[in-house]
């Protein structure tokens, strides 16, 4: 990340907490998460289902209420927007948009494609003629035919519906788009098309992305930096090339080892697997939350929770073994479009 982005991040999340249930025994869905996203940058937030990554994204757009920490957007506190006027809320919501996982359930089946895109433009006060031109431009830009604007969601394929979701997110010229598992429900070939589209749109409009995914193979092609979550906490964060070539946390190494390759014999090292399932957030383990599944667990891990610390200038890891040499046999990937 450039010095400019370090000095003035577009989004800065500090010690974010989202707890549910009774205060005496809360479910800590997000428990002290911190990260920043620079202008024009993509942060990949990865982890297994249930780790809290989607809840983190929902808290940023105020779809769930945070219970602690702070969220700054362009230096302005947005942890709660209840104190803002309607005009201020509209302006803020236009700057941060979200693309949901399921492109069908996130669209209103009773609204045509035109109505879906027209509604936010109308709410934000755009003139009718300008709205028509804007909608035509958006559809063309995401690879849809403006002549099909009268169709409804069920008349489009899954990939086309996700393009509609992306067009809707772009409608108000946002600066940050949160992509919540935006390609996980699509076929692999369609995933590649959507990923390439997101890359093109980022370059054209200067967008920043928080790309939430359980699939590191997808994140590899989009992210400038990667943060790995486990049971409500970030356990490793670094530039994408460092995470993929020199992962330091045992969980991250296991996630990378689980990525399918065309020829498993050519992987070059023994495949690492993660035993068992993620513990319930209702009763998290003591010490390091990963210790019941960790292949290199020590007695210390069971009683003492490691903090997220810098092991070099831009690489953070939460592991008692973080000072030891990580496995670097995975090779260095190249960031770019999918074939």
Residue ranges of the alpha helices (H) in the chain?
A: 3-7, 53-60, 86-95, 113-123, 128-141, 158-170, 188-205, 216-219, 240-245, 250-257
Quote the pLDDT of residue 268. 55
Look at residue 293 and give its three-state secondary structure.
Answer: helix
% of the chain beyond a pLDDT of 70: 89
**What are the E-state strand segments in the chain?**
11-20, 27-37, 42-46, 68-73, 76-77, 96-99, 176-180, 208-213, 225-230, 233-239, 309-312, 315-317
Please calculate the CA angle 92-178-216 and round it to the nearest 5 degrees.
160
Residue of 164, 180, 259, 278 lying closest to 216 (CA atoms): 259
- Considering Cα of 127, then 132, then 133, then 137, what sign does the dihedral take? positive
pLDDT in tens, 220-258: 889 999 999 999 999 999 999 999 999 999 999 988 887
Instruction: For residues 163-177, give the mean pLDDT.
Output: 96
Asked if 39 contacts 5 with a C-beta cutoff of 8 angstroms, the reply is yes
Could you tell me what percent of the chain has a pLDDT over 90?
A: 68
The torsion angles phi and psi of 136, rounded to 5 degrees, stand at -60, -40
The Cα 159–Cα 189 span in angstroms is 10
Give mean pLDDT, residues 281-307. 91
Task: Spell out the domains of the chain, with CATH numbers in brackets.
Answer: 3-249 (3.40.50.300)
251: left (phi over 0), alpha (psi -120 to 50) or beta: alpha
- Rounded mean pLDDT, 173-189: 92
Q: Which residue has the tokens 């995470």?
A: 243
pTM above 0.75, yes or no: yes
Q: How far apart, in whole angstroms, are the C-alpha atoms of residue 332 and residue 25?
A: 43
């Amino acid at each position: 990340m450039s010095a400019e982005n370090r000095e003035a991040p577009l989004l800065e999340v500090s010690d974010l907490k989202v707890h549910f249930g009774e205060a005496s025994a809360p479910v800590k869905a997000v428990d002290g998460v911190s990260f920043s996203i620079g202008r024009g940058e993509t942060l990949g937030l990865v982890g297994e289902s249930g780790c809290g990554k989607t809840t983190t994204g929902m808290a940023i757009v105020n779809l769930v209420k945070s219970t602690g920490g702070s969220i700054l957007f362009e230096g302005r506190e947005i942890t709660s927007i209840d104190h803002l006027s309607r005009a201020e809320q509209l302006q803020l919501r236009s700057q941060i948009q979200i693309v949901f996982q399921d492109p069908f359930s996130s669209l209103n089946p009773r609204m045509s494609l035109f109505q879906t895109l027209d509604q936010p433009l109308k709410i934000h006060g755009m003139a009718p003629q300008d709205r028509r031109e804007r909608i035509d431009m958006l559809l063309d830009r995401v690879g849809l035919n403006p002549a099909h604007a009268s169709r409804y969601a069920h008349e489009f394929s899954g990939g086309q519906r996700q393009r509609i979701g992306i067009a809707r997110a772009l409608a108000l010229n946002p600066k940050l788009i949160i992509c919540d598992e935006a390609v996980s429900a699509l076929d692999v070939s369609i995933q590649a098309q959507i990923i390439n589209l997101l890359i093109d749109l980022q370059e054209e409009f200067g967008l920043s992305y928080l790309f939430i995914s359980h699939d590191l193979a997808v994140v590899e092609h989009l992210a400038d930096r990667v943060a790995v979550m486990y049971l409500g906490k970030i356990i490793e964060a670094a530039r994408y090339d460092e995470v993929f070539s020199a992962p330091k946390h045992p969980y991250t190494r296991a996630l990378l080892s689980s990525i399918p390759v065309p020829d498993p014999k050519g992987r070059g090292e023994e495949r690492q697997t993660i035993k068992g399932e993620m513990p319930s957030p209702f009763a998290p383990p003591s010490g390091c939350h990963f210790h019941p599944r960790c292949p290199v667990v020590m007695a210390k891990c069971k009683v003492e929770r490691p903090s997220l610390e810098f092991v070099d200038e831009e690489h953070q890891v939460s592991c008692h073994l973080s000072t030891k040499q990580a496995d670097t046999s995975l090779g260095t990937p190249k960031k770019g479009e999918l074939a």
